[in-house]
Amino acid sequence: MDNLNALFAKVREEFPALTQKVHGKPLSYLDSGATTLKPKAVIDRITQFYSFETSNVHRGAHYLGDVATQGFEGARHTVAHFLNAKTSDEIIFVRGTTEGMNLIAQTLGLTTLKAGDEILITEMEHHANIVPWQMIAEVKGATVVAAGTLDNGELDVEDFKKKLNSKTKIVSFTACSNVLGTNNDMKLLTKLAHEVGAKVVIDGAQIVSQAPVDVQAIDCDFFVFSAHKIFGPFGFGVVYGKKEILEQLPPYQGGGSMISKVTIAKTTYNDVPFRFEAGTPHVEGAVGLHAAIDFTKRIGLDKIHQYEMQLLKSATEKLSAIPDIKIIGTAANKGPILSFNLKGAHHSDVGQILDREGVAVRAGHHCCQPLMARFGVPGTVRASFSVYNNEDDINALVKAVAKAREMLL
């Protein structure tokens, strides 16, 4: 354990943001569920691109165009390997998980759904995995159905099974709840969905920075994540889709790059994945994500998971010892996310007091209003941990929560 702590003490030094103070206090950044801080390797790679490699990709008849294209497509190959996709043709670059979900809803949903069909999600979904399905369901006359959540924050698998039927055409669920931290069994849920002939979409935003993902072993049809959740830049994300399915889907947007031939009368579309990537791409996002994946591989996702679980265990035990604290989400298999409330206090008030103590958390409904309704709360305080956190951060959190209790109760 000492070796692990020593390793991540070195990792912490790679994050410039942690050298600053907030309100005169050392920054304890516990909001990685919202976005991860960026290591110097990612910052430097993006700076390198803007300083010396700026060019548009794919058709530039000059050196910088070649360099930019190699960086962009090299990132696609790296992402394919990272997810264990069969081919890089199965990797589509988008602006993030939200756009990825909308892309799938407006292509798969458009071509798959008909009146009376059902889309099965869960109560623990982020709004990005609810609203796009509601929008396409309204257009197609389909219905969105949600599997329940148990009191400890685990998915009610029996309810999930009951709600699967011949009308279920799409199943879309989160790999890891951004509120509860619950890790869902991706293989099991995918298998159950495929047994009724449904296509499977997985929101992987919270899982990619904490555990290896093998889309072939899971056998999901789609998997989506955002670069900024795994130490990469904002405004960039990935849709993995099985090639044989992608080839049957219409484009999501029209414009440059996604075409093969354009006449005034008719357009023929490019091969996958390019038919889904209209317009000038976010090249620095791609090279930044490449650097971020290299960063996680250098440390090792197995070590990252072990360390983050150590932090979660410590934080859970210390926070639970404070009177009037209620932790929401106590599943046995959790990611490094800890949601809680101080009984009798509003989550926003707690969050503001923590901020004054230099502790950065998130307070609110976390874009999961149906889940908040399930647990009968308007919101929670959420602390989420990553590779740059340590016991000092946890102690700062516990001390600040204790202070909030004194002030508010």
Cα angle for residues 273, 189, 192 (degrees, 5° grid): 100
Beta-carbon contacts of residue 145 (< 8 Å; ≥ 6 apart): 118, 119, 120, 121, 163, 168
The answer to whether residue 220 is catalytic is no
The residue from 176, 220, 367, 368 that is catalytic is 367
Pairing of strands 359-360, 28-29: parallel
Element (H, E) at 287: helix 283-299
In sequence order, what are the beta bridge partners of 226? 237
DSSP conformational letter for 184: P
- The DSSP line for 225-255 is EEGGGGT--SS-EEEEE-HHHHTTSPPSS-S
Six token digits for residue 178: 């951004």
Is the Cβ–Cβ distance between 381 and 354 less than 8 Å?
A: yes
Which residues are annotated as catalytic? Answer: 367
